[in-house]
């Protein structure tokens, strides 16, 4: 790897970040739809499972960003699963969506001082959904300022950092109601 040019190294690092971020986005999408995620790493990125009636629906998922293609191993896995009637999803994330995520991750640190927002408690890959909307009251937020001011962030068990689903006001009302 030492013979890689700086440009190639930068491209490789950017592609790794895009891949990790795309995978986090895909996992969250499946989780939001009631699936449980199990890492595989060989031939696919993960398996998503969901109980449907008395059976468990299972789908193998490989996440691709931009114009990335399936590897030889992934194509073999897809073919074997198809023969066994096991679903395989090639989950695609557009470059435009990833660019928004990557562009705004470094900007989060700049908001630390501007909004008096302590980012030191958050570690991992930041996944910012823009725009976002509170499922409780319907408040919407567009842009990083609005999202951080009205919603905030949370650490997830998978090592990612996401936007709070409920707005700050609804979370505060909910907490007051429990006391």
**C-alpha dist (Å) from residue 94 to 35, 41, 58, 86, 91:** 22, 22, 25, 26, 10
Nearest-CA neighbor of 173 among 136, 120, 125? Answer: 136
Domains and CATH numbers, the chain: 6-93 (3.40.1350), 96-178 (no CATH)
Which tens digit of pLDDT belongs to each residue from 50-109? Answer: 998 899 999 999 998 888 888 888 889 889 999 999 899 999 888 777 777 666 665 555
Write down the residue that tokens 């302590």 correspond to: 118
Which tens digit of pLDDT belongs to each residue from 108-147? Answer: 555 555 555 555 555 566 777 667 889 989 998 887 778 8
| pLDDT at residue 116, as a whole number | 53
């Amino acid at each position: 790897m030492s013979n890689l040019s700086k440009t190639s190294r930068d491209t490789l690092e950017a592609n790794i970040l895009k891949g990790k971020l795309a995978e986090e986005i895909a996992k969250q999408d499946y989780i939001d739809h009631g699936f449980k995620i199990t890492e595989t790493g060989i031939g696919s990125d993960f398996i998503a499972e969901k109980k449907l009636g008395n059976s468990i629906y299972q789908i193998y998922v490989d996440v691709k960003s931009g114009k990335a293609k399936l590897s030889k191993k992934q194509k073999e896995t897809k073919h074997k699963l198809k023969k066994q009637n096991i679903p395989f999803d090639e989950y695609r994330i557009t470059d435009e969506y990833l660019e928004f995520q990557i562009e705004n991750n470094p900007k989060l640190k700049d908001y630390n001082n501007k909004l008096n927002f302590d980012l030191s408690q958050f570690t991992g890959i930041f996944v910012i959904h823009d725009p976002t909307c509170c499922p409780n009251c319907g408040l919407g937020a567009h842009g990083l300022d609005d999202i951080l001011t009205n919603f905030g962030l949370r650490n997830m068990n998978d090592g990612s950092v996401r936007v709070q689903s409920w707005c700050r006001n609804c979370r505060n009302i909910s907490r007051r109601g429990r006391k």
